[in-house]
Amino acid sequence: MLFDTHCHINTEDFAEDYEAVLERAQEIGVKKLAVVGFDKETIARALWFAEKYDWIYAIIGWHPVDTIDCTPEDLEMIRKTAAANPKVVAIGEIGLDYHWDKSPKVEQQALFRQQIEMALALDKPIVIHDRDAHQDVYDILAEYKDEPNLRGIMHSYSSSPEMAERFIKLGFYISLSGVVTFKKARVPHEVAVSVPLDRLLIETDSPYLTPVPYRGKRNEPGYVHYVAEEIAKLRGISYEEVVQATYENACRLFVI
């Protein structure tokens, strides 16, 4: 009962063989999949997958790196689509990315707030992209801490266990990707152990962040079981317990 809560099979990386990729995922036990659209093209493709496959859901939003390309019409398209389509289970991935300098920080922060407020109005969870911006992401989310329906996912979480605890208190789940399988990934290992099991999710972020033993190759949704296996090993619990908990957590958050 695996649930890959974040993947990008809607990109060109899977254009030639997505059907085979999805078949392999189902064979390994992936029962549900969330495909993330982050600009006009990938949003349209995510919606296509969600319509074509009953076990696939869409998450749509505007990526912070591309903030300067986002128009008011794009935001309205996201709002209307999320409001009308029950297969859209969250707004994302949204947030801040200070690693790349394509979009100024101030503009990223403004778009981040706009999309948070959109999700709150629609009563949808949000999926957070946070790269080199942990404190600013937390501070902006904390502005909405009194909103009763603030909730979501810290996608491919990369900060500390202490910061994870703060995000959880705001209503967020912590999602771990293939990085947790890396031998020298000390902090993700600590997070995998410290986060309460009822606040943990798993993902691939495929085609990126490929887990061991396929590190360096294209990632795909079926590899999410390696993430679950590593978490089970680190926590000293069964693989089945991790799979069941993360599946139930995702279904609860996405209201599936």
**Residue 129 marked as a ligand binder:** yes
Q: Are 88 and 35 in contact (CB under 8 A)?
A: no
What is the rounded CA–CA span in Å between residue 146 and residue 142? 8
Q: Is 205 annotated as a binding residue?
A: yes
6 annotated binding-site participant: yes
155 marked ligand binding residue: yes
**For residues 230 and 191, is the Cβ–Cβ distance under 8 A?**
no
Contacts of 50 (CB under 8 A, 6+ apart): 35, 56, 57, 58, 85, 87, 88
Binding residues for a divalent metal cation: 6, 8, 93, 129, 155, 205
Binding residues: 6, 8, 93, 129, 155, 205
